[in-house]
Amino acid sequence: MIRYHRALGGLLALVAVAGGTACAPGDAPSAWQTSANAGTSDHSGVRVLLHQLTTKDGGPGALVALRGRAGGAVLTSGVADVKSHAPMRADSRFRIGSMTKPFVATVVLQLVGERRVLLDAPVERYLPGVVRGGGNDGRRITVRQLLQHTSGIPDYLDFLKPQDVLDNPLAHYDARDLVKLALARPRVFDPGAGWQYSNTGYLLAGMLIERVTGHPYGEEIRRRIIEPLALRQTSVPDDASQIHGPHPRGYARPGKDAQLQDITALNPTVAGASGSMISSGADFNRFLDALLGGELLAPVQLQQMMKTRPTGNRDGGAYGLGLESHPLPCGGLAWGHDGGIPGYQTTGAATDDGSQATAMVNLYLGGTDAQNNDMASAVQTALCESRS
- Classified as helix, coil or strand, 304 is helix
CA angle 124, 129, 133 (to 5 degrees): 105
Q: What are phi and psi of 357, to 5 degrees?
A: -150, 135
CA distance 66 to 186: 43
CA distance 337 to 258: 30
Q: At what angle do helices 175-183 and 200-213 cross, to 10 degrees?
A: 130
State the alpha helices, DSSP H only, in the chain.
Answer: 9-12, 44-54, 101-113, 123-126, 143-148, 162-167, 175-183, 200-213, 217-221, 281-292, 299-305, 369-385
- Classified as helix, coil or strand, 25 is helix
DSSP string, 125-167: HHSTTTS-STT--TTT-BHHHHHHT-S-PPPGGGGS-HHHHHH
Measured over the CA atoms of residue 67, residue 282, residue 38 and residue 370, the dihedral's sign is positive
CA distance 117 to 120: 9
Enzyme catalytic residues: 98
